Structure 1
């Protein structure tokens, strides 16, 4: 069933065409990714679909009663509300239904209702219908769903009573997303939902969206996210849309094959045209062949021409070429403690970089990843420990905050003042590689967009010709073609790379090693992000095997692996399998308890409907009292489940 169909949409601003012929078809359950370069008109298309703006041409048809959720509706929440209140408000219809049930129960408990048999029958029948509607809408589990979504987006129990005014901008964006997910619309429309999410939260969101029964239309530059979630892809280029079945990877393959086929057909036709034109030129003036030449000329005039394949479009061209090679040993970090304002974020951190390594630093938001990079390049002092650079090391640093850009300068002055040894032609050529051409080079830095500032910083970094690049979120604000150009440049780079990124596709393409930053140090893995995930999954499987073995050994009295490991020296705190097992058992226990209580709430709702139909007032009152007790018990079970989950997480990360 089609839930939304937009056909041949047109939209222009100040005479500039943004959308020329854009069409979107979304069926029930479709997960659609909308892709295209910066400025292609993706957000404009979303605004037309959601009704924020009206098209200049074309039509938009929606299924009757379609509930659509768009994240921009909630980006400025009421700061006076608490975290929980703001998200729970998305279930206001259920809250109102629940309030009506309580009101009807109060009426049925009023002795005056018995004075009229008809009045009593009307009230109980109304209650029966309302209770059935409430149960069908999932009303008995709405609070549980709110807390689960909040926890999944890293708003744990201790944060839920906090006022929204105390949250950062990134946290408010996540909160807006939480409210939208709780709302559970028929069609969810998301514009760059992965911003401000760490890898753990991204994984949760991907799993949630994949299993959600509703439809999805999402704009994202996160290719890993698109591959995990989407089942259809719409590419928007030059104001025109093209539809492809499958996720982003499938779209890339199909579009490449399409282009190759288009090139082949174009070249074949051009060869045929050239041969015919040559025949016409040679034979048009000769009496014996002029009729054949005229016939061929008419054939050319009638020929349906194959369109010249479009180029890949404007994109950056990055080349990182070191001025000189570094020594083999590039960097040694030993027992480093990092932090700020007398607060330690992580310690002790130790790792080694050799020439050619590409180490990606991962960790949750707030783990200290940017702090680590700033400490290594000397922008922040180390609290304790050593940072030793190797011989002939030239470091280039890319700051995601772009704090070293001078807003009082123009684009060309920002670059030329740093590379006064180059002439104007060389500077303009370098800027052109990053799509600053003509009048763009005299734009004030203060007026640049986020993507333009990122491209300017990459240009400055390229001109440094460093043999070690330290990069903090280099793909932020870049569109997909620019990310791919950066990936290719870094893949060809002969130097050493230390970088922080939440772009898992980028990490997969670049990293030779992955480092997980934790409060008690950094754990390094060989390979890219996918290799790291496989290793983690393998470790979890081995841990489960060890726990099973430990359980048997405890019953038989045999020593466990953990017992044997206790005799080996280790700089990390030893995690006892029995502690892990107890917490896992506790988590499972509270999960089962919450599930049983939720089932009982649903059953109570059905029993209340039956009691209302039977006009059994005593039974209704008893069930209402039970419902209140079960709701409290369910909430308590969820809180204990979350506390046990946090304890396990802290134990496995080595925290006290």
Structure 2
């Protein structure tokens, strides 16, 4: 065992977030950590990394083990380059390099320093640090960050910084890696490289992720829900099966408790009435005792909160009708997408591209792209990061053919969008206009900016549909979690009842039940879908024609 985690209490003021977190990680084991948005995964990650010490319990790493962590923030990094940042995060590298660079000038005949220098030389070679700069530079190239090794880290985008963190972890040669959402912003080639490395690596890993392609390759899944952790042996497919069985049993137990609570309430009233009717002192005492016993048991049972029940759609279909009915009664609330179903399809053409060639300035990104997208159909734009997928979407929405740095340049072909179609766009980044607004005000302003009707009742309905609380409504968007921001983006996308959806990696940040709800809604959707996704599960669900952008 390389890590042992026991957390008996983690609270924020009066709100208790964790009460029974208990799991371990063994040598070389790949563990996926999952949980609903808001369950506390980010908080738990902060505890594991040592950033959060305000909890009751223990986090114990085996003595002498090397633990590396993906950083969440990159404040105050100054002018440090990408290569310097990665190397500084490698265990032992900075210390050994310092010895090798400074001792020759200062050690003289000091035998202790000479011995330390000799050991450092051997260790530097054993760790492969003589070639590390070339290896890191090559890895950056594999992740489409060629030429960025010498760029200041601060100049990179959020997605590029996340990739830098992954490269740092891949070359750390640690005993345990704590990794948070590693594949967000990766294209399909980069993600495959990461997964292949994860499978081949001998180091243990605890990966916070809802990427089902990653979860498919782990050895065990730990789910954080209702303040406790539940362990599931096996990968994602095994988790779905075991979760369905465990949830069915938990529902049965909860229903038994619910029936007992109802029975005890009746007994308390019954004993109370019988006590009031009798005149015999001994009988009064007897009924009083029974009433107290029932009331005490009732009070204990009423402390039991309703667990979170979720079973994936495939396994729900396999339940017998009694269990299925129970699940519909007890299942956890999920986001609710209000979208028109397939009965409304007209099959008119919404997007057409003929031999399109696009780029910026004098740089041609791609050519020869053809699209024919009608209502009720789906088209996937597939290509590596930087190939031009976003450029094509931008050109489609802007209709720009002007030669400028900001607008895509149409070098050849035709690209048309039905001028009467209502378009909903899911984007990775929230518009800066709304970031510092409280969620409630941001929803209102977003509707006003689009000249759409909005009122207090509608805002509250939307917040309820997407699992936001009144407290969330008063919280600035910038302070919401990644999953909460993603839900705001879905509200924004669907605001104008669109006939065409343009989706850019919509599953990033969403938890598993929300991803399934999105997939289910999109399968019923009446309009057309143009999407970019490197989630193979999502791609299989939505399907459609694949249009390759750039080289394969």
TM-score normalized with structure 1 length: 0.64
Q: 2:466 aligns with which of 429, 434, 440?
A: 434
Tell me which residue corresponds to 2:326. none
2-structure distance, mates of 1:95, 1:457: 42
CA RMSD, Structure 1 to Structure 2 (Å): 4.5
Correspondence for 1:196 among 182, 185, 196: 185
Three-state SS of the structure 1 residue aligned to 2:237 is helix
Give the equivalent residue in structure 2 for 1:258.
246
Contact 2:2–2:26 (CA<8 Å) still a contact in 1? yes
SS at match of 1:254: helix
Give the unaligned 5+ runs of structure 2.
276-282, 310-331, 402-408
Paired residue secondary structure (1:202): helix
- Cα deviation for residue 19 of structure 1 reads 2.4
Q: Distance in 1 between matches of 2:102 and 2:434?
A: 63
Asked if the contact 1:88/1:179 (under 8 Å) is kept, the reply is yes
Q: Which residue, out of 370, 382, 400, partners 2:428?
A: 400
For 1:53-452, what aligned pairs fall within 5 Å after superposition?
53-72=52-71, 75=74, 80-90=79-89, 93=92, 137-138=127-128, 142=132, 145-156=135-146, 158-162=147-151, 164=153, 167-228=156-217, 230-267=218-255, 310-312=307-309, 313-321=332-340, 324-341=344-361, 343-378=363-398, 380-381=400-401, 383=410, 384-389=412-417, 393-403=421-431, 409-415=441-447, 418=450, 424-436=456-468, 438=470, 451-452=483-484
After superposition, the C-alpha distances for 1:275-332 in whole angstroms (9 at most, x for unaligned) are: 99999979x99xxxx9xx99x9989988997967524445321121169533343432
Closer/same/farther in 2, CA of residues 417 and 517 from structure 1, 3 Å limit: closer
Structure 1 position 82, deviation (Å): 4.5
Cα distance in 2 between the residues matched to 1:299 and 1:16: 29
- Partner of 1:498 in structure 2? 530
Looking at CA atoms only, which structure, 1 or 2, has the larger radius of gyration?
A: 1
Is there any run of 5+ residues in structure 1 with no aligned partner, and where? 113-118, 520-652
Shift in CA distance, 326/465, structure 1 to aligned 2, threshold 3 Å: farther
Confirm whether residue 459 of structure 1 aligns to residue 447 of structure 2: no
Tell me the distance in 2 between the aligned counterparts of 1:321 and 1:256: 30
SS at match of 2:51: coil
Q: Which has the higher helix share?
A: 1
Would the aligned equivalents of 2:399 and 2:416 in 1 still touch at CA under 8 Å? no
1:223/1:248 contact within 8 Å kept: yes
- Aligned equivalents of 2:454 and 2:294: distance in 1? 56
Secondary structure (helix, strand or coil) at the match of 1:412 reads helix
SS at structure 2 position matched to 1:72: coil
Counterpart CA distance in 2 for 1:80 and 1:444 is 30
- In structure 2, do the counterparts of structure 1 residues 211 and 76 end up closer, same or farther at CA, with 3 Å as the change threshold? farther
Q: Is the 8 A contact 1:411 1:442 kept in 2?
A: no
Could you tell me how far apart the structure 1 residues matched to 2:416 and 2:124 are? Answer: 65
1:226/1:389 CA distance change after superposition, 3 Å:
same
Q: Is the 8 A contact 1:431 1:459 kept in 2?
A: no
Shift of 1:490: 0.9
CA–CA distance in structure 1, aligned partners of residues 60 and 480 of structure 2? 37
Shift of residue 188 of structure 1? Answer: 0.5
State the shift of 1:21 in Å.
Answer: 2.2
The answer for the alignment partner of 2:318 in structure 1 is none
Q: Distance in 2 between matches of 1:235 and 1:398?
A: 28
Residue 11 of structure 1 corresponds to: 10
Task: Please say if residues 321 and 494 of structure 1, whose CA atoms lie closer than 8 Å, have aligned partners that are also in contact.
Answer: yes
CA distance in 1, matches of 2:518, 2:387: 26
Contact 2:483–2:509 (CA<8 Å) still a contact in 1? yes
The 2-side partners of 1:460 and 1:262 are apart by 36
Distance 1:130 1:444, change over 3 A: closer
> SS in structure 2 opposite 1:183?
coil
On the 8 A contact 2:507/2:535 being kept in 1, the answer is yes
Give yes or no for contact 1:20–1:240 (8 Å, CA) kept in 2. Answer: yes
1:481 aligns with 2:513: yes
What is the rounded CA distance, in whole Å, between the counterparts of 1:78 and 1:343 in structure 2?
32
Deviations 1:346-373 (A, max 9, x none): 2232121233222221222211211211
Against the structure 1 CA distance between its residues 19 and 431, is the aligned structure 2 distance closer, same or farther, given a 3 Å change threshold? closer
CA distance in 1, matches of 2:366, 2:523: 30
SS of 1:464's partner is coil
Q: Secondary structure at the match of 1:401?
A: coil
TM-score computed with the length of structure 2 as normaliser: 0.75
Alpha-carbon separation, structure 1, partners of 2:196 and 2:433 = 39
